[in-house]
Amino acid sequence: MKKRVERLRGMHDLLPEAHQHQRWVIDQLSTFLGLAGYMPVDPPILERSDLFRASFGQELWQNLYAFRLHNHELCLRPDYTASICRLYLDHYQRQPLPLRFQYAGPIFRYESPGRERYRQHTQIGVELLGGHAAAADAEILQLACGVLHELNISSYRLELGHIGVASGFINRLHLDDHAAHLLLSLMEQISRSEEGEQLAQARLEALYPPDLSIEKMAESASQNGKVEARYITSLLNGISISFGDDATRHEVVERFLWKVGRSEQRRQILHALEFLRALRAVTGSPPEVFEALRSLLDRYGLDATPLAELQQLVTVVEQCGVPEQQIVLNLSLGRGVSYYTGLVFEIHGQGEDGFDAQLCGGGRYDRLMRAVGGSHDTQACGFSFGVERLLSHISSGNLPGTAATQALVVPVSSQDVPYAMQVARSARNLGMRTEVDVTGHGVGAGLKLASKKQIRLALIVGEDEQQKGVVTVRDLLTGEEQEARIESLLNRVLDEEQCL
């Protein structure tokens, strides 16, 4: 026997009821976002891989569905934001800003599957290009909270951060690009828990291992400016070791300086980890947390402007009806992708069993447009929700019922199938959900089929019914049977549905 082909791990099948609920959520939110001026767009699922290299660095590239086909490097969309930027550059550069876009569709990431975590899942979100940063940030935060109110989800936690605080500190350390990007990409892991922080530190320790003899030189270098090649050469000249030729001596000097540089990078990285640990420790609800954060930034000599921006945003979301105790300031918050430049935020929901799930993520990304090929930076911000996770937090009482079939047309014989199709078409034109019995087993089997599928009305059609232009209606709940014209059935069905 041939082996059955199974569904891929991390993927899931969307069955009729779940599909209807997902479609309902998308339709509800699309209407809601449309009222705020967000135009629906639908970029392709498949894009050139280079489009996502700017937003998903080396650390995350291994999680993408990237492949080579006909000499092209391609990628299944892992995120919408870069695709929307590419769409803007292709079609809208001559349009005045701001521009508002909304989207809904699948994204793909090769991550470890888990509870409510799939390798293909559905996102719905918005991107706001242009506009004044403070006003635009306020709008997307208001909309993100509005999405939850629209779906009657009231139990959630809004985490607000600002990547400018951590990036400003890291940039001041003069780390190399790889180390700086790595630290920023690990911020999400660091901000989650002590365990995540320990894993991130272990990763950095492995990449920048200690060398005590070199570290002393690096510490001296940090105090005196830098270690110059001429000093190392002078030191080597005083050692009675033969290096063969000048090229070998030069290589030894270069390798030593490289080690000193690596050791200095390690020292600075550990210093940055201390700062991020301090940021994570000062996390809490407004207004009290602002004073502690100001004190921390002052201690490190950092600009407090991001705090003023966050205070304004807190006022906005509180005016939207978000309780103060559901807002958390977390300046160590990282979003796992490298394109954020200012505000970052997440919304977490808690299920009845206490399971904490991220429902939404977003923020400001003013440099991504240039990174994907634009001629200049463009102010931009946005957010996205995971539709599957949203559904798990919506009360079943607020979801629509499954649209059941209302009538089954049963032809008496195969010669009556054309008339059965005509009757079904007329019923559907009137708005009735109608199927045709295509089993060809006759009336008795057709009635049993309708009963098994819990279809209340059987519309029996034969030669007599066709000549009269009627159907024989069998109510499988009451057992009543009568002839009727198809037009008169609609009112009967509506009356019965109102009684249920």
Residue 27 reports pLDDT greater than 80: yes
Nearest-CA neighbor of 356 among 153, 112, 11, 115? 115
Tens of pLDDT, residue by residue over 123-150, are: 999 999 999 999 999 999 999 999 999 9
* Average pLDDT value for the chain: 85
Q: SS3 sequence, the chain?
A: CCCCCCCCCCCCCCCHHHHHHHHHHHHHHHHHHHCCCCEECCCCCEEECHHHHCCCCHHHHCCCCEEEECCEEEEECCCCHHHHHHHHHHHCCCCCCCEEEEEEEEEECCCCCECCECCEEEEEEEEEECCCHHHHHHHHHHHHHHHHHHCCCCCEEEEEEEHHHHHHHHHHCCCCHHHHHHHHHCHHHHHHCHHHHHHHHHHHHHHCCCCHHHHHHHHHHHHHCCCCHHHHHHHHHCCCCCCCCHHHHHHHHHHHHHHHHHHHHHHHHHHHHHHHHHHHHCCECCCHHHHHHHHHHHHCCCCCHHHHHHHHHHHHHHHCCCCHHHEEECCCCCCCCCCCCCEEEEEEEECCCCCEEEEEEEEECCCHHHHCCCCCCCCEEEEEEEHHHHHHCCCHHHCCCCCCCCEEEEECCHHHHHHHHHHHHHHHHCCCCEEECCCCCCHHHHHHHHHHCCCCEEEEECHHHHHHCCEEEEECCCCCEEEECHHHHHHHHHHHHHHC
% of the chain exceeding 70 in pLDDT: 80
Return the pLDDT at 105. 97
Return the minimum-mean-pLDDT range out of 38-42, 121-125, 328-332, 435-439.
328-332
In tens, the pLDDT along 161-195 reads 998 888 888 778 777 776 776 676 667 666 666 77
Spatial contact of 349 and 158, defined as CB atoms under 8 Å apart = no
Q: Residue 230 carries which side chain, given as an amino acid letter? A: R
pLDDT in tens, 203-230: 666 766 775 444 454 455 445 544 444 4
Measured between alpha carbons, how far is 279 from 273 in angstroms, rounded to an integer? Answer: 10
pLDDT the model gives residue 227: 47
Token readout for 382 is 């946005």
Q: Residue holding tokens 């490298």?
A: 338
User: Are the C-beta atoms of residues 82 and 368 closer than 8 Å to each other?
Assistant: yes
Give the residue among 124, 78, 113 at the shortest CA–CA distance from 361. Answer: 124
Q: Are strands 481-484 and 471-475 parallel, antiparallel or unpaired?
A: antiparallel
Structure confidence by residue, pLDDT tens digits, 393-408:
998 889 998 888 999 9
Give the strand order in the sheet containing 457-461. Answer: 434-436, 407-411, 457-461, 471-475, 481-484
Give the pLDDT mean for 64-73: 94
CA 129 – CA 41 distance, rounded (Å):
14
Task: State the pLDDT at residue 333.
Answer: 86
pLDDT > 90 in the chain, percent: 58
Query: How far is residue 303's CA from residue 165's CA, in Å, rounded to a whole number?
Result: 8
Q: How confident is the model at residue 291 (pLDDT cuts 50, 70, 90)?
A: very high
pLDDT for the residue numbered 56: 75
Quick check: 388 and 357 in contact, CB under 8 A?
Answer: no
**Tell me, what's the pLDDT at 253?**
46
420, 410 Cβ separation under 8 angstroms: yes
Q: Dig out the tokens for 88 from the structure.
A: 């803007």
**This prediction's pTM:** 0.83
Q: Ramachandran region of residue 46, left (φ > 0), alpha (ψ -120 to 50) or beta?
A: beta
Of 60, 115, 106, 117, the closest CA to residue 79 belongs to 106
Q: Report the distance separating Cα 361 and Cα 384, nearest Å.
A: 6
Specify whether the CB–CB gap between 250 and 296 falls below 8 A. Answer: no
- What pLDDT, on a 0 to 100 scale, did the predictor assign at position 337? 59
CA–CA separation, 423 vs 460, rounded Å?
10
**Whole-number pLDDT of residue 467:** 94
What pLDDT was estimated at residue 114?
82
The mean per-residue pLDDT over the stretch 54-78 comes to 85
Give CA–CA dist 487/491, Å, rounded.
Answer: 8
pLDDT at 336: 60
* pLDDT (0 to 100) of residue 231: 46
For residue 458, is pLDDT > 90? yes
Q: Which residue has the higher pLDDT, 345 or 264?
A: 345
* Cβ-Cβ contacts under 8 Å for 323 (sequence gap 6 or more): none
pLDDT at 325 over 80: yes
User: Which comes out higher in pLDDT, residue 111 or 183?
Assistant: 111
Residue type at 324 in one-letter notation: E
- Residue 108 φ/ψ, nearest 5 degrees: -135, 125
Q: Which of 159, 170, 155, 367 is nearest to 274 (CA)?
A: 170
